Amino acid sequence: MSSPTLTDKVSKMIYQDILTGKLNPGQKLVVSELKERYCVGASPIREALVQLSWNKYVKLEPQKGCWVASISQEELKELFEGLQVIGNILLKKAITNGNEAWELNILTNFHKLTKINREEITPEGIQEREERYSAFHSALLEGANAPIMYQFHQELTNQIKRYRHLQSNYNTDKKVHIEYLEEHETIMKLALSRNSEQAVELLEKHYIKTMDLLSGSFEA
């Protein structure tokens, strides 16, 4: 058995390659190929694949092998339905419980959003854009002081990232980015003014809009 540290390291590398689309949905994961790809032995590869199967990133079938988990319209809809329910609750709690540090963190992360280079449509630029949007949403909801629900929200968000990185039209549309920036600014202002009802309503509309964009931009 390999060391826990090495297994975790390999698991994170495979996980990132799944999220960024370097390993495609439904792709067969062959241990010998992964050994060469990540420059490690077979044991940490196998253990990492088992770990990833627990969180549904990998489909593991005894005696048959491993595959990257597939994607579907139905799964995407279910992920966003869960995100709406949890996100709405977290935002309400954050607006009620959030302190000055929470407010400053939101403002800081929104400022980073405004500095995104919309002309940068390389894979690196797209990834940075996604990370900044994700960081803003995290800052918005962390003030809820509800770690279990927040962790569940993050897991749903990570599952959805597999869809985001596979949609080139969504990722490179400058108009969408401008609209999203304006939406996030409005959500931020509503949250900071403690307008819970309107902030939650706009966040829910934002989730639905994002789901529709992703759903319409890939072939099931």
- Return the closest-CA partner of residue 136 out of 121, 117, 157: 157
**60-103 confidence digits (pLDDT tens):** 888 889 999 999 999 999 999 999 999 999 999 999 999 999 99
DSSP state of 77: H
Instruction: Report percent pLDDT > 90 for the chain.
Output: 64
Domains and CATH numbers, the chain: 4-68 (1.10.10.10), 73-216 (1.20.120.530)
- What pLDDT score does 220 carry? 46
Q: What are phi and psi of 145, to 5 degrees?
A: 55, 45
Q: Is the distance from CB of 170 to CB of 62 less than 8 angstroms?
A: no
- Which region holds residue 116: left if phi is over 0, alpha if psi is between -120 and 50, else beta? beta
- Tracing tokens 């929200």 back to the chain, one arrives at 153
- Return the closest-CA partner of residue 191 out of 99, 124, 60: 99
Confidence check: pLDDT of 161 > 90 = no
pTM: 0.83
Confidence check: pLDDT of 218 > 90 = no
Q: What is the distance of C-alpha 53 from the center of its chain?
A: 18
List strands edge to edge, sheet with 28-29.
28-29, 65-68, 58-61
